């Protein structure tokens, strides 16, 4: 059975905000805790046959602000059967850096989806705006 989110012929890339502001309070929890709880709910509806990947920004601080604004990484390439990889990756990191949304989206389009055919979707989960570009 296919998952609720997406068709198995579609490709989904999650881009998650791990910037320092995710430590802020949001109704008695940190924004990071809310992110992880929401992600578990979303991923529980993803079929193992669904192509899904994960890019995270703000997961580290750079030596300079320029370095911090390049702190975005494709942690899990867009492939089938990736839900557990995504969950383990997201729980192993801690928010700490800047918010390079534009740079992350640029890499998603130019690199992460480069050799992938079919429909492509980006789901960006963030608590705020760009502070790098």
Query: Which CA distances in Å does 72 have to 66, 100, 117?
Result: 12, 7, 23
Taking the C-alpha atoms of residue 76 and residue 96, their distance in angstroms, rounded to an integer, is 20
Binning pLDDT at 50, 70 and 90, where does residue 2 land?
very low
Residues above pLDDT 70, as percent of the chain: 93
Q: Between 5 and 56, where is the model more confident? A: 56
Q: What is the pLDDT of residues 70-116, one digit of tens each?
A: 999 999 999 999 999 999 999 999 999 999 999 999 999 999 999 99
Residue 57 bridge partners (DSSP): 17, 72
| Statement: residue 15 has pLDDT above 50 | yes
CA dist., res. 7 & res. 51, Å (int):
9
| pLDDT the model gives residue 93 | 94
Do 53 and 74 contact (CB within 8 A), yes or no? yes
> Is the pLDDT score of 5 beyond 90?
no
Q: Please give the Cα distance from 124 to 35 (Å, whole number).
A: 11
CA distance to 57, 71, 77, per residue, from 98 (Å): 8, 8, 22
The pTM of the full predicted model, rounded to 2 decimals, is 0.91
Q: Residues near 64 by Cβ (< 8 Å), separated by ≥ 6?
A: none
């Amino acid at each position: 059975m296919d998952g609720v989110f997406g068709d198995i012929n579609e490709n989904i890339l999650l881009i998650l905000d791990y910037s320092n502001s995710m430590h802020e309070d949001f109704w008695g929890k940190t924004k990071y805790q809310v992110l992880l709880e929401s992600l578990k709910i979303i991923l529980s509806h993803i079929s193992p046959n669904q192509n899904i990947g994960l890019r995270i920004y703000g997961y580290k601080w750079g030596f300079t602000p320029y370095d911090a604004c390049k702190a975005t990484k494709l942690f899990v390439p867009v492939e089938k059967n990736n839900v557990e990889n995504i969950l383990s990756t997201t729980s192993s990191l801690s928010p700490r850096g800047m918010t390079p949304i534009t740079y992350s989206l640029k890499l998603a389009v130019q690199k992460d989806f480069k050799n992938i055919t079919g429909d492509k979707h980006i789901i960006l989960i963030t608590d705020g705006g760009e502070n790098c570009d």
